[in-house]
């Protein structure tokens, strides 16, 4: 089996994590399931912050951001080591996050190329009304201004020729934000 990286790309609330969970379930149901790693920047931030607290428990999102911001260089070093470890130990890696701009995607693409991974972009789309409704129901919603910025970035998204395969998944709603 060729090693494969699935990179989730889409606005917060579009259904990226749900797609990733369904893909993981599908892969684990195979007769000889591959070693799967779910990798996310947010998960790494929470893990790093929990290691930096005396209680060892996962702190609130505000506390996570404060801890990571306080020692950004230490976090970035931890993150790079964690990312390389995740890629090295997996047959399939699912990179979950918005990944809307190339600066966020490029380090993963470079590492995937270096380690011989097939690169698959999974662009998850939903109509704006669905995304806004999902956003209202989140436990830790992102600020509205950031969500609107993501929506605008998504409308002009260009993954170029950096992926071997591009999957466009429309999660729900009536009208996708992007036209193929």
Domain boundaries, the chain: 1-35+92-180, 41-89
Fold of 1-35+92-180: Rossmann fold (3.40.50)
**Calpha distance 72→69 (Å, rounded):** 5
- What is the pLDDT, as a whole number, of residue 26? 94
- What is the C-alpha separation between 18 and 25, in angstroms, rounded? 11
pLDDT score for 62: 73
For the question of whether the overall pTM of this predicted structure is more than 0.75, the answer is yes
For β-strands 92-96 and 36-40, DSSP reports them as parallel
Backbone region of residue 99 per phi and psi (left: phi > 0; alpha: psi in -120 to 50; beta: other values): left
Per-position pLDDT tens, the chain of length 180 = 789 999 999 999 899 989 999 999 999 999 999 999 988 877 787 788 887 776 666 677 677 778 878 888 888 888 888 889 988 889 999 999 899 988 889 999 999 999 999 999 999 998 888 888 888 888 777 888 888 899 888 888 888 789 999 998 887 655 555 554
3-state class of 61 per DSSP?
A: helix
Q: Judging by beta carbons within 10 Å of its beta carbon (0-12, 13-18, 19+), is residue 117 exposed, middle or buried? A: buried
Q: How far is CA 35 from CA 4, 5, 19, 38, 60, in A?
A: 11, 12, 18, 10, 31
């Amino acid at each position: 089996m060729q090693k494969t990286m699935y990179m989730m790309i889409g606005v917060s609330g579009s259904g990226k994590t749900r797609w990733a969970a369904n893909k993981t379930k599908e892969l684990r149901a195979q007769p000889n399931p591959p070693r799967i790693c779910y990798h996310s920047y947010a998960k790494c931030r929470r893990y790093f912050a929990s290691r930096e607290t005396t209680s060892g428990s996962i702190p609130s999102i505000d506390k996570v951001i404060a801890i990571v911001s306080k020692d950004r260089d230490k976090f970035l070093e931890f993150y790079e080591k964690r990312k390389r470890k995740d890629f090295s130990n997996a047959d399939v890696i699912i990179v979950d996050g918005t990944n809307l701009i190339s600066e966020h995607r490029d380090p993963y693409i470079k590492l995937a190329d270096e380690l011989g991974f097939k690169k698959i972009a999974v662009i998850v789309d939903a109509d704006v009304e669905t995304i806004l409704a999902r956003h209202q129901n989140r436990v830790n919603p992102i600020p509205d201004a950031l969500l609107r910025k993501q929506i605008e970035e998504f409308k002009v998204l260009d993954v170029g020729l950096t992926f071997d395969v591009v999957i466009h998944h429309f999660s729900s709603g009536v009208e996708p934000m992007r036209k193929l």
